[in-house]
Amino acid sequence: MEHILGHGWEITPAGGATGEAFFAKHQEQKLFLKRNSSPFLAVLSAEGIVPKLVWTKRMENGDVITAQAWLNGRELKPEEMSQERVAKLLKKIHDSTPLVSMLQRLGKASFEPGKMLLELESSIDHEIIQLPNASAAMRFLKSELNNVKNTEFVVCHSDINHNNWLLSDDDELYLIDWDGPVIADPALDIGMLLYLYIPRENWSQWLDQYGIDFTDNLLLRMKWHVIRQALIYIQWHKDKHRFHEMNNWIQFLQEVMKG
């Protein structure tokens, strides 16, 4: 990294799962660097969804380094996920034609429920399936598969955890960490956000802010996608030996299945 930036830059790892992200500082200049980011980042920057992309450089070994503006700020608190600006930014993302076009150019096809279910069945192990809530959840996903088909496919972030929402010191809101975007039913993002952060009695109000009616069909689609994602997280935490987090998601799945 040093030979790209020049002398005098202080570079420190930014953490994260990939180990490919860094903070760089030189006097008053601050950058967020990442190795081999998707070209999708440029469109996210142009749309104002992530902090501004400053430059992109290709290294001799073929790696591509991107530099974004390093903004002082903080992640949203769980209780702040009910704010109107969260709903408005998510709606902006879901309405963006350039985002869909770029993912399609990168080879992404629409991620339909049938394919989602097949991928889940191939990735979840026998021990998880034997859990009572998990086996009931899989039966639900299969039985409702034909009822959750949707004609609207948008770019979904697919991990709208409050930690991924950045509020800058200038009061600008961004959704960051776009490592797993998909072209899918917007209910994928909306459902997880509502089930995790918004009291049930306030769902209709939040959806009004987003700009969509609260219907029985939307409720079914949200529940289907949330159950699928919960099973994925249960398996992921088990694979990482994070059993406390795994049990939290099992409890979460149980609550969703009740509703």
The residue annotated as part of the active site, out of 159, 170, 171, 189, is 159
Interior/surface letters 151-165, b for 16+ CB within 10 angstroms, e for the rest: eebbbbbbbbbbebb
The candidate with the shortest Cα–Cα distance to 95, out of 47, 166, 135, is 47
Alpha-carbon distance 64 to 245, whole Å? 34
Which sign does the torsion angle of CA 72, 78, 82, 86 carry? positive
21-26 vs 182-184, strand pairing mode: unpaired
Decide: residue 13, CB within 10 A, 0-12 exposed, 13-18 middle, 19+ buried: exposed
Examine the residue annotation and report whether 159 is marked as an active-site residue of this protein.
Answer: yes
The candidate with the shortest Cα–Cα distance to 200, out of 222, 233, 185, is 222
Q: How many CB atoms lie within 10 A of CB 90?
A: 23
Alpha-carbon distance 193 to 212, whole Å? 15
Question: Catalytic site residues?
Answer: 159
